[in-house]
Structure 1
């Protein structure tokens, strides 16, 4: 097997790696076609593009750096079993939830503005508050429908992942690697509520169960895995967190700290104002 050495973006020599790892580095954008590579059979370092056809790099062309990584589009008949499966750990899932929560917050904020205006109109001339309660119930129903449509729809799509999961490179599948149905996606969405009612222990289970399954995964026979799991290229799976996951976790942690400090400051201010 050929053992390659390559120059990274800082022009530092790295390696040795085999053909599959070299292709994976190219697929993830760590090296480019103009990156220099070498192995013992070459008289000197050459551009990776010289070996593009031999390594099949055209089929492994990296996605645009401005686009989040997406799961490979597969039909049910294209599922490949027997290779290594890298399960998505707790922290990758947390990062995905942070992104999805941000997206849901934007959509919810826009809808909340419309609902708020409706509440203002509904409460006028209605001392009993009946219309206000009706609009509030409508708001809750709309929020639930949006959540079901987003999570169930995206998980049952060809991407098999929400935007948050796409960004960190993971997807949701059945325990045998097949794409889940929309109805199973709906059940999984409501399973999230059950995981929440256990003081979030249901979510934490993804950190220590055998196949990194949360409670709602066990309830719905689903797995959260690397986007290349159950494909013809299991060697492209990544066990490390990755730059996107780490960045999102750091930003989420900073926002949490800022939020806690803001709440503490508000409590202190209110206490002083009351004296």
Structure 2
């Protein structure tokens, strides 16, 4: 199949997407972090007044655990119900599946929870975000495992 036939096929089937690159995704993620930190400040500040934030649960504090739950739920629920987080909305991005089907819980658990957990726990794994800059469809490792892409919203 020639290149022109492939482009025509993509346009005819409606599958042509413009993939979001590293910097657009980076800025969207920074906006999301600002939003999550603000949410954590609003939701978790009462713990500081009642002394519950200093209570240790093994290696972590109650506020640390609650903050992590807010962080992962924000990315998981926003992406599941809207296909994008507020940061992605600001920059006109959305998450799609490779086969164009609706996002499934299993896709998002891999992408938004397991993928982000691995990146955050093992700091050196953050270097794998650079895959977005060098892969053809601008995918990070978490996108590859979940068969998702980040595209510009039309």
Residue 79 of structure 2 is aligned to residue 155 of structure 1: yes
Residue 28 of structure 2 is aligned to residue 96 of structure 1: yes
**2:70 aligns to what?**
146
> Matched residues in 1 for 2:53 and 2:108: separation?
35
**1:211 aligns to what?**
137
Structure of greater Rg: 1
Deviation at 1:82, TM superposition (A): 4.4
For structure 2, the residue ranges without an aligned partner over 5 or more in a row are 1-11
Instruction: List structure 1 segments (4+ residues) > 4 angstroms apart after TM superposition.
Output: none
- Picking from 41, 45, 62, the partner of 1:109 is 41
How big is each residue's C-alpha offset from its partner over 1:103-126, in whole Å with a ceiling of 9 and x where there is no partner?
A: 01111112342222233x787xxx
Check conservation: 2:22, 2:130, Cα contact below 8 A. Answer: yes
**1:180 aligns to what?**
103
> Matched residues in 2 for 1:106 and 1:122: separation?
17
Deviation at 1:211, TM superposition (A): 0.7
**1:193 aligns to what?**
117
The 3-state SS of whatever aligns with 1:172 is strand
| Structure with greater proportional helix content | 2
Check conservation: 1:153, 1:182, Cα contact below 8 A. Answer: no
Check conservation: 2:28, 2:91, Cα contact below 8 A. Answer: yes
Check conservation: 1:202, 1:216, Cα contact below 8 A. Answer: no
The structure with higher relative contact order (CA 8 Å, sep 6+) is 2
For structure 1, the residue ranges without an aligned partner over 5 or more in a row are 1-79, 124-131, 229-275
Alignment length (residue pairs): 139
**TM-score w.r.t. structure 1 length?**
0.46
**2:92 aligns to what?**
169
